[in-house]
């Protein structure tokens, strides 16, 4: 067989489904460094895109993968973690715990997006928002 010629892809050229697949594999690789195996779900089971299972045999984490930092009311009370990448850094944060802090310290609760639509995403991770997720930084892309 001839040698395989590999060319790195440009993430920005991927469609939404391709980006979702790409991000799943990238976050799975980062979680592997911490002893987790990621099991992709065929549908959003209880809000999770995948389950991360630790080698200790006791720790199971339900994860929703997102393209950016944000919150959804439909995830409340589901014991979900949210994974996202910003500027090459991966974060894995407990949705409800970080949401509580953000609601207490910012004005998003009064926005139409949160109050009516039940979702709020930040277009980029500003220094003010970075302080909420800094403790949950887990690795680089």
Question: Which alpha helices (H) appear in 8-64, and where do they start and end?
Answer: 16-32
Instruction: Give the model confidence (pLDDT) of 82-123 as tens digits.
Output: 999 999 999 999 999 999 999 999 999 999 999 999 999 999
Q: Helix, strand or coil for residue 39?
A: strand
Residue-wise over 2-32: b if at least 16 C-beta within 10 A, else e?
A: eeeeeeeeeeeeeeeeeeeeebbebbbebbe
- Return all residues near 22 (Cβ < 8 A) that are at least 6 apart: 11, 14
Longest dimension (CA), the chain: 61
What domains are defined for the chain? Answer: 11-140 (3.40.1350)
Do residues 27 and 83 touch, judged by C-beta distance below 8 A?
yes
Phi and psi torsions of 25, nearest 5°:
-70, -35
pTM: 0.90
Q: Say how far apart CA 68 and CA 47 lie, in whole Å.
A: 16
pLDDT tens track for 21-43: 999 999 999 999 999 999 999 88
pLDDT level of residue 46 (50, 70, 90 thresholds): confident
């Amino acid at each position: 067989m001839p040698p395989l010629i590999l060319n790195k892809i440009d993430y920005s050229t991927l469609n939404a489904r391709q980006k979702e697949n790409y991000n799943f594999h990238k976050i799975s690789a980062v979680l592997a460094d911490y002893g987790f195996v990621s099991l992709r779900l065929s549908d959003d089971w209880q809000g999770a895109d995948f389950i991360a299972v630790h080698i200790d045999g006791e720790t199971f984490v339900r994860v929703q993968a997102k393209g950016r930092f944000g919150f959804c009311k439909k995830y409340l009370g589901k014991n979900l973690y949210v994974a996202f990448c910003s500027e090459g850094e991966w974060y894995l944060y407990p949705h409800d715990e970080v949401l509580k802090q953000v609601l207490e310290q910012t004005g998003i609760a009064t926005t139409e997006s949160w109050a009516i639509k039940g979702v709020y995403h930040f277009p980029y991770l500003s220094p003010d928002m970075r302080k909420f997720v800094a403790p949950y930084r887990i690795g680089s892309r």
